[in-house]
């Protein structure tokens, strides 16, 4: 039997608790001991029973729907240093852990891959300096790791959805539904900023799901020379057809056709000055991260948790650092290094405004 640990790292996302619950229960079900590392990599670097706790079946009761992550998450600079990873390695060996499952974004998974790759040299060093016994050294020669993707942004390559993105989308839609009522009553316009960093998925999907009048995303600047002309034309046409409200969604990182940033303030000014609309800005902020996980995220997190336990138990020589994805409704293993590389290349292409490259990189995901 193995001792399997799970941690959550990076930004929290609804469904992370469901993922932790599934991993702990699948591990116990398969005859293993299950552990949770509290507070992300910083818990691993600090070590000891406060941060690395054995978890029993009942410890995760009621976690399936809960938002956030009950085992905590953190950004940890120490883990980016070799000494920090060496401390983490020693703490894991002291706790008897031989497999690690990390639920997080691309940064967290990069850290997990580096840790696995470095593991043999870390334990050799710990053995040579007398920090671990020969028995411990022999018992912990390999570290099996696996990543699961927890992020509201749905910005990772090589998966169709990340754990949390559909909950966040549902929350955004609900908030816009609330705003719709008041907008409609006063015939107002609302400019709504949504999260997503360099990824417009949340904004685009919310635009479709709430029938927004206009939207701005980072990946595709308006093809019209002047977005304000185009937006005013569309909004005015909608109003002329009797629509009493206007909703414009602005993603974080949205840009105009001249590639300059578009802010909610810019959009509001145009709606006020050119169309005379009574306009308010609503920045949804961290509400987008909160609340229960929707059914899809609970299911995704549960199925991926079970698949992650299988991956660390079976070992995956063909993929040294696997992550669990969902592609065309199938739960599959993918090399996390490739996914991170592709994700970073897409983000870089968007940052440098090379949209054709960003699109071709995203399309390349689907080429076998």
One residue of 14, 47, 72, 111 binding ligand ATP per CB under 6 A: 111
Of the listed 12, 98, 106, 153, which one is catalytic?
153
The token pair at 138 is: 């022999």
80 forms part of the interface with ligand ATP (CB under 6 A) = yes
The token pair at 220 is: 């595709």
Residue 283: half-sphere exposure toward Cβ, Cα within 13 Å: 8
75 forms part of the interface with ligand ATP (CB under 6 A) = yes
- Distance from C-alpha of 86 to C-alpha of 42, rounded to nearest angstrom: 13
- Distance from C-alpha of 48 to C-alpha of 66, rounded to nearest angstrom: 27
- The number of helix segments (H) and strand segments (E) in the chain equals 12, 11
Please give the residue whose beta carbon sits closest to ligand ATP in the complex: 107
CA angle in degrees (0–180, nearest 5) for 168-171-175: 140
Minimum Å gap between C-beta 169 and ligand ATP is: 16
- Nearer Cβ to ligand ATP, position 156 or 232? 156
235 forms part of the interface with ligand ATP (CB under 6 A) = no
- Nearer Cβ to ligand ATP, position 100 or 271? 100
105 forms part of the interface with ligand ATP (CB under 6 A) = yes
Minimum Å gap between C-beta 9 and ligand ATP is: 5
**Residues with Cβ within 8 Å of residue 239, at least 6 apart in sequence:** 246, 275
Q: How far is CA 321 from the centre of its chain?
A: 18
343 forms part of the interface with ligand ATP (CB under 6 A) = no
- Nearer Cβ to ligand ATP, position 213 or 297? 297
- Nearer Cβ to ligand ATP, position 69 or 282? 69
Asked if 155 is an active-site residue, the reply is no
Minimum Å gap between C-beta 114 and ligand ATP is: 5
- Nearer Cβ to ligand ATP, position 16 or 313? 16
One residue of 110, 154, 159, 168 binding ligand ATP per CB under 6 A: 110
CB 151 within 8 A of CB 164: yes
- Residue among 82, 80, 95, 81 at smallest CA distance from 122: 82
Sign of CA dihedral 344, 321, 64, 53: negative
76 forms part of the interface with ligand ATP (CB under 6 A) = yes
**Residues with Cβ within 8 Å of residue 222, at least 6 apart in sequence:** 216, 230, 231, 256, 257
Window 1 to 60, contacts with ligand ATP (CB under 6 A): 9-11, 41
Minimum Å gap between C-beta 85 and ligand ATP is: 7
Q: Which residues bind ligand ATP (CB under 6 A)?
A: 9-11, 41, 75-76, 79-80, 104-108, 110-111, 114, 151
Residues identified as active-site? 153
């Amino acid at each position: 039997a193995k001792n399997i640990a799970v941690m959550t790292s990076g930004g929290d996302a609804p469904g992370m608790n469901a993922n932790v619950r599934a991993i702990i229960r699948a591990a116990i079900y398969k005859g293993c001991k299950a552990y949770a590392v509290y507070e992300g990599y910083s818990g691993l670097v600090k070590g000891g029973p406060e941060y690395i706790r054995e978890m029993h079946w009942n410890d995760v009761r009621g976690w399936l729907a809960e938002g956030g992550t009950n085992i905590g998450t953190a950004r940890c600079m120490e883990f980016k240093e070799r000494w920090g990873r060496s401390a983490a390695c020693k703490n894991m060996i002291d706790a008897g852990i031989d497999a690690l499952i990390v639920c997080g974004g691309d940064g967290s998974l990069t850290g997990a891959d580096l840790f696995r790759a470095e593991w043999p040299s870390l334990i050799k060093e710990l053995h040579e300096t007398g920090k671990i016994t020969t028995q411990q050294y022999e018992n912990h020669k390999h570290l099996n790791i696996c990543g699961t993707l927890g992020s509201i942004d749905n910005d990772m390559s090589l998966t169709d959805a990340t754990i949390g993105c559909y909950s966040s989308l549902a929350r955004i839609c609900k908030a816009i539904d609330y705003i719709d009522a008041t907008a409609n009553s006063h015939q107002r316009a609302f400019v709504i900023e949504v999260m997503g960093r360099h990824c417009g998925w949340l904004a685009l999907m919310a635009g479709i799901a709430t029938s927004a009048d206009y939207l701005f995303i980072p990946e595709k600047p308006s093809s019209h020379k002047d977005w304000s002309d185009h937006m005013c034309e569309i909004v005015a046409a909608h109003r002329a057809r009797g629509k009493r409200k206007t909703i414009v969604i602005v993603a974080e990182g949205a840009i105009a056709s001249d590639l300059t940033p578009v802010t909610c303030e810019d959009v509001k000014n145009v709606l006020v000055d050119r169309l005379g609309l009574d306009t308010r800005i609503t920045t949804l902020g961290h509400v987008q991260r909160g609340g229960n996980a929707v059914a899809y995220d609970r299911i995704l997190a549960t199925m991926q948790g079970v698949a992650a336990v299988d991956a660390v138990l079976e070992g995956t020589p063909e993929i040294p650092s696997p992550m669990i994805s969902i592609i065309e409704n199938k739960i599959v293993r993918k090399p996390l290094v490739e996914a991170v590389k592709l994700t970073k290349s897409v983000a870089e292409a968007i940052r440098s405004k090379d949209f054709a490259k960003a699109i071709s990189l995203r399309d390349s995901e689907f080429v076998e």
